[in-house]
Structures are given as structure tokens and as C-alpha cells.
Amino acid sequence: MEIKTTVEDNRLFRELILDGKRVSWLTIIDHRMRIGSAQVRMGGIGDVGTDRDQRMKGYSRRVMEDSARYMRDEGFDVSLLFGIRDFYPKFGYAGCLPACTLEMATRNAESAGAGAGAYSVRPLEDADLDALIDLYNAANRSRTGTLVRERPRFSGITKGSKWGVPVETIVLIDAAGRFAGYAAYDKDEVEVTVTEVEAADPAAFPDLLYQFAKLAIDRRAGSIKILAPLDHPFTEVCRRFDCKITVNHHRCGGGMMRIIKQETLFDKIAPELTSRLGDSRYSTFSGRLALRTDLGDTLLEIDNGAVTAHPGAEADNSIELPQSRLSQLVMGYRAPRGLLTEPEVSFHGDALQLAEALFPQHYAYVWAADYF
């Protein structure tokens, strides 16, 4: 029995071979992911499977556990997956991405037409791709969870709200004929599900909303569904026109993450942590905060508000917690105070107050087009 790895561009195919035959497998997709303004190396786990007649023998567990070691050896900082319930927590993965869905009656979206008209729309063309990538990266430059898009790996929005659902992409053009934004939605005859929307100027969002209303009228859909973060500027605009927003926080399943290499993760996000302290009452603080997990100990050295990360555990302020809970803090999925009832978590000294400044709760997000 052996586990074989084949590399093709940013995809690493891992297969458990038994008697010369592949019996279990998964794929690791090499991505750069944002945590605030920082970027880390993320291994996206997809295509996990085992031959039907070889299940319940522990083969998938072998591949998952070996892949965590493999990613650490290869220099990955974290790993993310979109998982089924009650399977991946045993491998250290914890929920980290709230799922936000906005629904609006078509008649309410129509009212956005009163302020529309300054922009026109047309289908996306090949020549628009660089502008789309630039706008996406600028709009998401500080949003935790978003993937960095770059050519040639990103060749356009190719998937809809679910696997196998085709997508249409339109671009927004201003009065001077310039690229001003874009949107993607499922190619569907009866429903309207918007999976991504961005604009260089938020003033253009009513024009896009009105376009969705016209699309819904053509499809005779009574409502529009939009998948976007709760705090996205487009979501804010939609609140003017009467909508329902649902945010799901999964106990497990959905978007889940685990830390792979704690020391490099915190070294990379230290500048982001410094920025967060700068916006808090700890902007001139000096001291230490130790993070003690099952992966090891990380010491955050804070000098007049500037954070650096080192191995070590000697500090008056410390947090003891599983790496799965630390993952949730890093992603902003859980607030530090919300971990006080967790039996495996303990805060010492001023660690809770420091953690609230370093790990504020916020809305991490991965756009549907980037699911793996």
C-alpha cells in the first residue's frame, strides 16, 4: 500500500494504491487566500472519494491524515474544504465560512430602476478578463477567505451556484464606454440566482439590481436570490429595496478550515494583526501573547503595537485551545468571547481582551465561482 502524488499545475492528485489499483483519493488545489490584507498558502481539498467496494476500511482516513502531513512538508499554511457534515472534524477541520443568501421580490428590485440608467450592460468578452480580475482583487483585497485571482489559473467565471450549473457573466459599462463592474448569475430558464457582483463605484449597484429585475421578469421569476457577504456594498444597497437576508453558521459542514503550519501562518498574518491592534486600544501595547494548541506553541511578541510571531509559550497572557478553534478565530468565524464556554479553551492574563482586538468577528467569504 502506498500513497502516490501527481502534480499538474496547481493541482496535486493524491491516490492510495492497493495491489496496483487506486482505491481512495483526493485533490489538493494550491491557492493563495486572504486573511484580512495578508495572503497565505491554502490547500483546497476536493474530489475526496473511495471505491464503493473499498469503503469502511479506513482508506479515506489514511489519505486525509497523510495529506495533512504532506501539505505541512510542502509549505502550506492552512487547508480549506467544502465538506459534508460529521466527517471532516475528525481531521481537524472546523466551520469557518458563514453562508449568506439574500432574497428580494422582483417587484422590489424593479424600483431600483428609478435611479438607474447611467450604465449599460453587455456580455463579458475575452478582452474584459484583466479588468474583471483587477476589480475583483481590489474589491476583495481585505476580505478574509477570498482567493487571489490571477492569470492563467483564473480564466473567467465558469461555474454557477452549484456544480454542473452553467453561468452567464455581464459587464457594466459607464457613459464613457469604460468597464465599470460585472455580475455573474446562473444560466437558468425560470430562476435568477446571482453568484457574484462587483462595481468600481457603489453608485452603479442600483443599475445592476435593475438588470436582475429585468432578467427575473423575462424568466417570470417572482424573486431574485443573491449570494454575497452580509457586509458587501451591494448587500447594503439591497437593504434599501426591502429584502430578506439569511446567514447560516454551520456546526460542521460547508466551508471548513484547519491550520497546517501554525508558525508560518502567524508569521504571514503578523502585519494584519499589527493593523488590527492599531485600530484598537492596544495600539501602543507592548507584551506577549502565547497561543498553545495541539500543533505547538506560537508566541506573539508585541512591541508598541507591532506584532511578530515566534515559536514559544512563555508569556503572562496565553490562550490554550485546539487548532480547530484557533482556525475559527483566525477566520473571524467565532468571537473570542464566544469560546469562553468551550471546555478545551482557556484564557489567562489579559489574553481575552488582546484576542478580541487581534481576532475580531467578521464575514469571511469565498465566492461561488472559486469553490473547489
Per-residue pLDDT tens over the stretch 338-367: 999 999 999 999 999 999 999 999 999 999
Contact between 145 and 34 under an 8 Å Cβ cutoff? The reply is: yes
Give CA–CA dist 155/150, Å, rounded.
8
Burial string for 305-334 (b: 16+ CB within 10 Å, else e) reads bbbebeeeeebebbbbbbbbbbbbbbbbbb
Q: Which residues pair with 48 in a beta bridge?
A: none
Q: How confident is the model at residue 253 (pLDDT cuts 50, 70, 90)?
A: confident
pLDDT digits (tens, 9 = 90+) for 93-140: 999 999 999 999 999 999 999 978 889 999 999 999 999 999 999 999
Segment 216-236 mean pLDDT:
97
Residue 123: burial class (beta carbons within 10 Å; 0-12, 13-18, 19+):
exposed
For residue 329, what is its C-alpha cell? Answer: 478565530
Segment 303-330 mean pLDDT:
97
| Whether residue 223 has pLDDT greater than 90 | yes
Segment 318-326 mean pLDDT:
98
| Whether residue 262 has pLDDT greater than 90 | yes
pLDDT digits (tens, 9 = 90+) for 279-297: 999 999 999 999 999 999 9
Please state whether beta strands 99-105 and 223-227 pair in parallel, antiparallel, or not at all (unpaired). Answer: antiparallel
Q: Closest Cα partner for 224 from 249, 186, 193?
A: 193
CATH 3.40.630.30 fits domain 100-248: yes
- The residues spanned by each domain of the chain are 2-94, 100-248, 261-358
pLDDT at 230 (0 to 100): 96
pLDDT at 116 (0 to 100): 80
Instruction: Provide the angle, in degrees to the nearest 10, between the axes of the packed helices 262-278 and 323-330.
Output: 40
Mean pLDDT score of the chain: 96
| Whether residue 250 has pLDDT greater than 90 | no
Q: How confident is the model at residue 169 (pLDDT cuts 50, 70, 90)?
A: very high
Helix intervals (H) in 86-149: 106-110, 129-139
| Whether residue 86 has pLDDT greater than 90 | no
Q: How confident is the model at residue 83 (pLDDT cuts 50, 70, 90)?
A: confident
Give CA–CA dist 333/239, Å, rounded.
23
Given this structure, which CATH class describes domain 261-358?
alpha beta
Q: Closest Cα partner for 49 from 19, 16, 72, 9?
A: 16
pLDDT at 84 (0 to 100): 85
Give CA–CA dist 338/322, Å, rounded.
15
pTM given for the model: 0.95
Q: Pick left, alpha or beta for residue 125 (phi over 0 → left; psi -120 to 50 → alpha; otherwise beta).
A: beta
Segment 302-319 mean pLDDT:
96
Contact between 364 and 97 under an 8 Å Cβ cutoff? The reply is: yes
Q: How confident is the model at residue 143 (pLDDT cuts 50, 70, 90)?
A: very high
pLDDT at 252 (0 to 100): 84
**Omega cis (within 30) before 322:** no
| Whether residue 147 has pLDDT greater than 90 | yes
Residue 119: burial class (beta carbons within 10 Å; 0-12, 13-18, 19+):
buried
Under DSSP, is residue 124 helix (H, G, I), strand (E, B) or coil?
coil
pLDDT at 43 (0 to 100): 98
Segment 20-48 mean pLDDT:
97
Give CA–CA dist 323/87, Å, rounded.
17
Instruction: Provide the angle, in degrees to the nearest 10, between the axes of the packed helices 262-278 and 351-358.
Output: 90
pLDDT digits (tens, 9 = 90+) for 173-217: 999 999 999 999 999 999 999 999 999 999 999 999 999 999 999
Given this structure, which CATH class describes domain 2-94?
alpha beta
Q: Do domains 2-94 and 100-248 have the same CATH topology?
A: yes
